[in-house]
Structure 1
Amino acid sequence: MNTDRRTRLGDAAMEVLAEHGGRGLTHRAVDAVADVPPGTAKNYFPSRDALLRAAAEHCVRRYRAITEELAARGPAPGSRRALVAQLTGLLADVAGPGRARLLACLELQAEAARRPALSDILDPIAASDFPGMELAQRAAGLPLTPAASRTVTLALHGAITHLLAGGPATLAAAGLDDLDRFVRELLDVVCPE
């Protein structure tokens, strides 16, 4: 099958999930967003479960791409400043270009509560965040324990829903109205210099 079209349909499924939620994810909606002839999504992904799986796999690919991109363009690894820049970039992506991907991921996680096969696809993303974040924090020279590393990772995960909702009062109350300051303060509290 055509890989470019499959990718285009995965993008479209992610956009539909982000815009209309899980109930709005239909083959017809994906065809419309992908601007392909009716029935195309059904040919590639014959069932709704297959369509959900394709969206989940697409979210995983996009997540890996953005983390690699941020790591490549950030300051040289090995310093607290580099880590702050990388984590600030990840949070800024949530509120910016990664918004649709994260909304789709949240919709998929809700679906995964009812469809364990989706959890099998999504679980490695979050699970890999923990050792990956610990490695990044160690590389930055932070005085670290596994519990401290988990705390940082969970705080970043917790920030996602607030950044997506974008409520100004909540963002200010959580300190998420200044992402750089939020990350610096988080690291200062969990791993003081």
Structure 2
Amino acid sequence: MANRDRRDRLRDAAIEVLAEQGGRGLTHRAVDAAAGVPPGTTKNYFPTRQSLLQAIAERCVELYRDLPRPAITDRATLVAMMGALLADAAGPGRQRLLAYLELHAEAARAPWLAAILDDIAAADLTVFEEAQGAAGLPVTQERAAAVTLAMQAAIPHLLAGGPHTLAAAGLDDPDRFARDLLDAVYGRAEAQSEKYAHGH
């Protein structure tokens, strides 16, 4: 168990280094320092840069799977979930998402890494499609993809935090962005028909 704990500690420290220093700053020595372990420890666990990147990617997959999945019962709870995910990008999830974006840059030149990250992207599409169905929306694969990709495209802007871009895109209000996105994909008229269908 101690060995596994140290491995996770190193992987979390590597995410921290990748998020704060980028791909060029990701070294075994930097991870040792971030984890507070003796020099050479990271290299013992992950001998090459490729094995270190693989460890980070696999840890990101684990963290993604551990994210809470709130129950979706209608359009309002779907909007709340989407808004919370966007707010998380500029808050508690910032470091993980920064590292995730750095991994994608590396994956553009490393097919083996792209294959690992593909698990997260594919799972995201499924999660959002199921959530839209649970909200009572007339979801299709195409509509689910449009919502998912729009959410993913918002992440880099939220991480950069440019006020003009955030305001222009409506990302300065995550809940409003989520509502407007669903309106754009599904239409306001369908939102009204849902209310009538539920007796409102």
User: TM-score, normalized by length of structure 1?
Assistant: 0.94
Instruction: Provide the residue aligned with 1:5 in structure 2.
Output: 6
Instruction: Provide the residue aligned with 1:30 in structure 2.
Output: 31
For residue 87 of structure 1, the aligned residue among 51, 68, 82 is 82
Distance 1:104 1:128 in 2: 18
Q: Tell me, what secondary structure is at the counterpart of 1:2?
A: helix
Distance 2:126 2:61 in 1: 17
Q: How big is the shift at 1:144?
A: 2.1
Q: Tell me, what secondary structure is at the counterpart of 1:96?
A: coil
- 2:38 is the alignment partner of 1:43: no
Q: Tell me, what secondary structure is at the counterpart of 2:109?
A: coil
Alignment of 1:28-177 (within 5 A): 28-66=29-67, 69=68, 71=69, 74=70, 76-177=71-172
Q: 1:92-112: per-residue Cα shift (whole Å, max 9, x none)?
A: 111111111111011111111
Q: Tell me, what secondary structure is at the counterpart of 2:137?
A: coil
Q: Aligned letter for 1:19?
A: E
Task: Tell me which structure has the larger Cα radius of gyration.
Answer: 2
Distance 1:185 1:113 in 2: 31
Q: Aligned letter for 1:152?
A: V
Q: How big is the shift at 1:153?
A: 0.6
Distance 1:117 1:123 in 2: 10
How many residue pairs are counted as aligned between the two chains?
187
Distance 1:177 1:77 in 2: 24
Q: 1:13-57: per-residue Cα shift (whole Å, max 9, x none)?
A: 001000010011000000000000000000100111001111111
Distance 2:102 2:114 in 1: 12
Q: Aligned letter for 1:62?
A: L
Q: Tell me, what secondary structure is at the counterpart of 2:66?
A: helix
Unaligned runs of 5+ in 1: none
What fraction of aligned residue pairs are identical, expressed as a percent?
65
Q: How big is the shift at 1:120?
A: 1.4
Distance 1:20 1:168 in 2: 23
Distance 1:144 1:115 in 2: 34
Q: Aligned letter for 2:131?
A: A
User: TM-score, normalized by length of structure 2?
Assistant: 0.90
Q: Tell me, what secondary structure is at the counterpart of 1:136?
A: helix
Query: Cα RMSD over matched residues?
Result: 1.1
Q: 1:70-119: per-residue Cα shift (whole Å, max 9, x none)?
A: x2xx4x42211111111111111111111111110111111111121111
